[in-house]
Amino acid sequence: MAAEAVTPRERYRSQVRADIKARAWAQIAKSGASGLSLNAIAKELGMSGPALYRYFGSRDELITELIRDAYRGLADTFRTAADARAGVEGLARALRRWALDDPQRYFLVYGTPVPGYHAPDDITAMAQEIMGALLDVCATAEPEAPASAGFTAHLAQHREWAGDHPASPDVLRRALAFWTRMHGVLSLELAGQFTGMGFDPERLFDAEVTELASGR
């Protein structure tokens, strides 16, 4: 079946929405997500506030669209690495490249929550898709001995974050160790906390990846 033709009006609407999102990212880079202002974006684009609301009905709707774009980008990045059988190391380095390419995008989804913002259910589903790719990779490289049998058993009972993925408790623990350690290093690096400490953050990241890949 041939794809439906896109009308000039639809193309214009798509372009305006893209322009609004670009201005929103610029605002976030300057003032953080909590400082996002639709009226300020409208002024920059030479339109009235009410006119902009025809494209995004609220600040939360715009934030949701930005978060969807960010999660979709990371999900695609993870799936590409997983399909290439890059292993835990490849997945970790793909995450770091994605984060360094756009720190504000990273902080929007993994930084301080935006005050008063509540994500819709589809955002949670996208986050679980990303975790699913990680669980798939971790399942192929499960360590022989879990670090903490007690915590592993705890995860087996509290696995909501993994969605419907059939991962074993040991795989759940390995994936969560990856997630917390990689994001810990990345968050500190992107926030500039390593500046002036005299070492290369990439080498620290690589050392953590090597230990995770060996099950330590």
Average pLDDT in the chain: 89
Q: What is the pLDDT of residues 141-161, one digit of tens each?
A: 755 555 577 888 888 888 888
What is d(CA 210, CA 216) in angstroms, rounded to the nearest whole number?
9
What is d(CA 210, CA 41) in angstroms, rounded to the nearest whole number?
44
Long-range contact list for 96-101, CB < 8 A, 24+ apart? 96/182, 96/186, 96/202, 96/205, 98/73, 98/74, 99/186, 99/190, 100/190
Tokens of 41: 């974006």
How much of the chain exceeds pLDDT 70, in percent? 94
Is the CATH code 1.10.10 the one for domain 1-57? Answer: yes
What is d(CA 155, CA 143) in angstroms, rounded to the nearest whole number?
16
Per the CB < 8 A criterion, the answer to whether 67 and 73 are in contact is: no
The pLDDT of residue 105 is: 92
Q: 201 or 214, which is more confident? A: 201
Domain boundaries, the chain: 1-57, 67-213
Q: 53 or 140, which is more confident? A: 53
| Sequence-distant (≥ 6) Cβ neighbours of residue 5 within 8 angstroms | none
CA angle 100, 93, 102 (to 5 degrees): 15
Class for the domain spanning 67-213? mainly alpha
The pLDDT of residue 216 is: 67
Q: One fold for both 1-57 and 67-213?
A: no
> Which DSSP symbol is given to 162?
G
Confidence of residue 214 (pLDDT cuts 50, 70, 90): confident
The pLDDT of residue 1 is: 45
Predicted TM-score of the model (pTM):
0.86
Q: What is the pLDDT of residues 193-211, one digit of tens each?
A: 999 999 999 999 999 998 8
Find which of 75-89, 165-179, 180-194 is predicted with most confidence, using mean pLDDT: 180-194
Q: What is the pLDDT of residues 92-150, one digit of tens each?
A: 999 999 999 999 999 999 998 888 888 888 888 888 889 999 999 888 875 555 557 78
CA angle 81, 84, 89 (to 5 degrees): 50
Q: 186 or 142, which is more confident? A: 186
CA angle 45, 74, 114 (to 5 degrees): 55
158 CB-contact burial (10 Å; exposed 0-12 / middle 13-18 / buried 19+): exposed
CA distance to 42, 54, 71, 120, 161, per residue, from 123 (Å): 26, 22, 8, 6, 13
